[in-house]
Amino acid sequence: MDFKEFGFNTELLEGLLAMGFKNATPIQQQAIPIISENKDLIACAQTGTGKTGAYLLPLMNLLTQKHERHNNVLILAPTRELAQQIDVQVEALSYFTNISSLTVYGGGDGVAYDQQKRSMRDGVDIIIATPGRLISHLASGTLKMDKLEHLVLDEADRMLDMGFYDDIMKIVGYLPTKRQTVMFSATMPLKIRKLANNLLQQPEQINISISKPAEGINQQVYLIHDDQKIALLTEILKSADYNRIIVFAGRKEKVKELGKVFRKLGLKAEAFHSDLEQKEREAIMLDFKNSKLNVLIGTDVLSRGIDVTGIDLVINFDAPQDPEDYIHRIGRTARAATTGTAITLVNPKDKRRLANIEKLIERSIERIPLPEHLGEAPKEQPEGEKKPYKKKKKKFFKKKPKTV
């Protein structure tokens, strides 16, 4: 479906075409008409399907029809990286319009905080925020939301996973009860449905390719012991020509350790974690986008907050605990109908995690044999094979004498 068929404002459509977008994705085809009609919506769509444009485009088109400027649209995101990513899309799409936007997140200096306060007092069309910093502005009275018309919760499942439920409900308490509420989530567990029941009024529902990785991803698994992982990755990274690589680890400490290991191997690598200052994080991300860095190492927070095209390889150094996180991790590659490779290293303790991932995506992931010179790989129990039954020995106890 061509974007011209939605009847968007000429200036907004011009921004779309300047970015090279012509046809809407399935989630955009379904969501744009619903949001344009000012209906509440709960949409389930995996990462990389164009969901950001699915809510930005209709809301921005509505804004072009308004003459009064006030804090009109609030978009809540779980991480500052995602908030920044959304803001970049807003700026690009609104290039030929007079729509204004503001990002609100923690980690900045006092100057940035004062600039945020001034913009809020003057009024902006779209505010993109993480819950924590937004609450501080609302509580201080700097930010007024009495005229807000649209609320968007992006990656709502991740916000709940990060413990933002109470913050979300506190923010909603500052908003008008009469508003449009739109919720996007990659998964639809019970806790998301409960949140939707509290916030949305007779919502429309959309489900697009729930928990299915893109077809263009070549998924591979190595069964491996922990002490073999570094040696294997060294071979993989040096044997093939990968321009951009993301490595996911389970803990921040492991992220830092891998950053040092990869740099010692002569690779242009950086660890991306919460101990860095915001300016350092932004500089690392910019270098990665500009190909000054080849390898970026991070935790699952990174899987939701990065939108970089041309990622050739995703490596799961640690198998994710939540199978849904596997979808988000490998979704960083093969974006926009491209192809890519996703390699997951599975130690004996993580075999159950692998089984849960395969159950979720409804397919078996190809096992790649470990090179012989790296030693013996863990054995995988064949499907359906049961452990030999051992007959339990009977235990005999002497009867206690009856008491009279």
Q: Tens digits of per-residue pLDDT, 289-302? A: 888 998 999 887 66
Name the phi and psi angles at 148, rounded to 5: -60, 140
**Distance separating alpha carbons of residues 309 and 244, to the nearest angstrom:** 9
Report the pLDDT averaged over residues 345-362.
Answer: 92
Instruction: Say yes or no to pLDDT of 144 above 50.
Output: yes
Extract the tokens encoding 273: 């974690």
- Tens-digit pLDDT profile for residues 273-291: 878 887 888 888 889 988 8
Task: Indicate whether 73 and 191 sit together in one domain.
Answer: yes
Instruction: Count CB neighbours of 371 within 10 A.
Output: 13
Instruction: Say yes or no to pLDDT of 139 above 50.
Output: yes
Extract the tokens encoding 223: 């069964």
Task: Indicate whether 306 and 161 sit together in one domain.
Answer: no
Average pLDDT, the chain: 85
Looking at per-residue confidence, does 393 or 92 come out higher? Answer: 92
Instruction: Count CB neighbours of 236 within 10 A.
Output: 18
Task: Indicate whether 286 and 172 sit together in one domain.
Answer: no
> Does residue 389 fall inside a structural domain?
no
Domain span including residue 50: 3-208
Task: Indicate whether 243 and 130 sit together in one domain.
Answer: no
> Does residue 382 fall inside a structural domain?
no
Band (67; pLDDT cuts 50, 70, 90): confident
**Distance separating alpha carbons of residues 214 and 188, to the nearest angstrom:** 19
User: Domain boundary residue among 168, 191, 208?
Assistant: 208
| In the block, residue with structure tokens 């013996």 | 376
**Distance separating alpha carbons of residues 123 and 65, to the nearest angstrom:** 17
Task: Indicate whether 196 and 232 sit together in one domain.
Answer: no
Instruction: Say yes or no to pLDDT of 382 above 60.
Output: no
Band (402; pLDDT cuts 50, 70, 90): very low
What is the domain-level CATH number for residue 16?
A: 3.40.50.300
> Does residue 379 fall inside a structural domain?
no
Task: Indicate whether 175 and 227 sit together in one domain.
Answer: no
Residue 387: left if φ>0, alpha if ψ -120 to 50, beta else—which one? beta
User: Domain boundary residue among 185, 208, 231?
Assistant: 208
Residue 307 is predicted with a pLDDT of: 65
Task: Indicate whether 142 and 182 sit together in one domain.
Answer: yes
Amino acid type, 332: R
Which are the contacts of 158, defined by CB distance < 8 A and separation ≥ 6? 78, 79, 186, 304
Looking at per-residue confidence, does 31 or 68 come out higher? Answer: 31
> Does residue 400 fall inside a structural domain?
no
Band (391; pLDDT cuts 50, 70, 90): very low
> Does residue 388 fall inside a structural domain?
no
Band (179; pLDDT cuts 50, 70, 90): very high
> Does residue 249 fall inside a structural domain?
yes
Task: Indicate whether 252 and 305 sit together in one domain.
Answer: yes
Instruction: Say yes or no to pLDDT of 396 above 70.
Output: no
Task: Indicate whether 9 and 89 sit together in one domain.
Answer: yes
Looking at per-residue confidence, does 396 or 102 come out higher? Answer: 102
Residue 364 is predicted with a pLDDT of: 93
Looking at per-residue confidence, does 332 or 211 come out higher? Answer: 332
Residue 349 is predicted with a pLDDT of: 93
Least confident of 62-71, 74-83, 179-188: 62-71
Q: What is the pTM (predicted TM-score) of this model?
A: 0.65
Task: Indicate whether 202 and 227 sit together in one domain.
Answer: no
> Does residue 402 fall inside a structural domain?
no
- Tens-digit pLDDT profile for residues 308-349: 777 889 999 999 887 877 887 888 887 655 678 999 999 999
CA dist 140 to 133, 134, 341, Å? 11, 10, 48
Report the pLDDT averaged over residues 119-140.
Answer: 87
Residue 276 is predicted with a pLDDT of: 81
- Tens-digit pLDDT profile for residues 102-125: 999 876 655 666 777 776 777 789
> Does residue 19 fall inside a structural domain?
yes
Task: Indicate whether 17 and 165 sit together in one domain.
Answer: yes
CB 76 within 8 Å of CB 153: yes
Indicate the number of domains in the chain: 2
User: Domain boundary residue among 164, 191, 208?
Assistant: 208
Task: Indicate whether 26 and 43 sit together in one domain.
Answer: yes
Q: How many residues does the chain have?
A: 404
